[in-house]
Structure formats: C-alpha cells, structure tokens
Amino acid sequence: MPKTAEDGPAEATPKPVTAEEQLIREGDIAGDYLERLLDLLDYDGDIDLDVEAGRAIVSIDGGEDLEKLVGDRGSGLESLQELTRLAVQQASGNRSRLMLDIAGWRQGRRDELTELGERTAKDVIDSGQPVKLRPMTPFERKVVHDAVSRIKGVNSESEGEEPRRQVVVFPSGG
C-alpha cells in the first residue's frame, strides 16, 4: 500500500559513508579517547589526526612526559595503540587498523629499521648467507620487509610464532 501524507514523513535513505569518512571518524574517536587519557594522567600533548595509506593515523606530540607512554622499545605505545583500537571498535562497531605514534617514536623507529633492513640486505648479498634478525613486532617486521624488498638480490620472510616471530633475509635465486 503506498504511503500518504497522513502516514508521516518518508524514511530517508542514509547516505553511504565513504572509506575516507570512516577513517576520519575513527581518528576522531581515537583522538577523544586519547585526550581523556592524557587529562587523567595530567600529561600535556597535541593530538594530530590524519589518514594515510588506508588507515587512520593519530600522533601525540609536544609533552615532556610523553616518552613514559612509549615505554621500553615501544611496548607502552603498542599497548596503548591496541587499547585505542578497542575503544574505536567499541564506539564504531568496526575493527580498526589505526596507527598511533607518540613523541615521534614510531617514525624514528621506522628510520632505524629501514637502515637495518638495507644494511642486512647488503650483508646477505656480500656473504651469500641468510641472516635471521631478532624477534620483532608486526610493525617492525613490515618496515624491514619493505626496506629489503627495494634491494635486488635478496628476499625476506617472517618465521616463528608471536612473540618470537622474526625476519629472515636471504639471497634470491638469480
């Protein structure tokens, strides 16, 4: 039976949300969550939100106590990233791939790992022998794999089980 004016207003079809809009929303949720956390800790920090390579990127900079949140070898940062992802998932209903950086630690670590991957690849080319690196987090392994992939004559793969998963760099055939 067709609707009439007496039936009330017609239901509006919700406008589909683009992937970029969803990532911006994730960043906003994460920013609010992290701002509340910083307030609770009485830490100062500027929160910056961005979307890059299909994921929300949240950075906290500017406070002198922020290094404490990073923790030993980024362990606090990794934990805080997971908590923030869970907060985003709870609020949005979507699993988040959000990336968190605090006090530029992740970018600095990315630079170190890129250099490690390049240096290891050159060592493998020179010696012809595979090299196993120490166990790393998924973020660290990806950075090393990306660095190795840009060098001809070597390949890399991850082996082992978390948390002892490690990158192996080996000569490529040919």
Domain of 41, CATH number, reads: 3.30.300.20
| d(C-alpha 39, C-alpha 34), whole Å | 9
- Residue found under tokens 């509340």: 36
Q: Are 58 and 101 in contact (CB under 8 A)?
A: yes
On whether both 97 and 35 belong to a single domain, the answer is yes
Look at residue 143 and tell me if it is in a domain. Answer: yes
On whether both 95 and 121 belong to a single domain, the answer is no
The residue with greater pLDDT, 12 or 63, is 63
Q: Quick count: other Cβ atoms within 10 Å of Cβ 119?
A: 12
Tell me how many domains the chain contains. Answer: 2
Nearest to 131 by CA among 171, 172, 161: 171
Number of H helices, E strands in the chain: 5, 6
Query: Rounded mean pLDDT of the chain?
Result: 90
- Residue found under tokens 């910083």: 38
pLDDT band at 169 (very low <50, low <70, confident <90, very high): very high
Average pLDDT over residues 38-64: 91
* Two structure tokens written together for 82: 């997971």
pLDDT of residue 109: 93
pLDDT of residue 8: 53
Beta strands in 55-164 (DSSP E): 55-61, 99-102, 131-135, 154-159
Average pLDDT over residues 83-105: 94
CA 91 vs CA 27, 73, 87, 130, 164: distances in Å: 12, 29, 6, 45, 32
Of 86, 103, 120, the residue at which a domain comes to its end is: 103
> Residue 73 gets which letter from DSSP?
G
Range of the domain at 159: 108-171
Look at residue 65 and tell me if it is in a domain. Answer: yes
* Two structure tokens written together for 166: 């490690």
Look at residue 6 and tell me if it is in a domain. Answer: no
pLDDT of residue 6: 58
On whether both 23 and 91 belong to a single domain, the answer is yes
Tens of pLDDT along 120-162? 999 999 999 999 999 998 889 999 999 999 999 999 999 999 8
pLDDT of residue 146: 96
Look at residue 54 and tell me if it is in a domain. Answer: yes
Percent of the residues in the chain that have a pLDDT greater than 90, as a whole number: 76
pLDDT of residue 17: 78
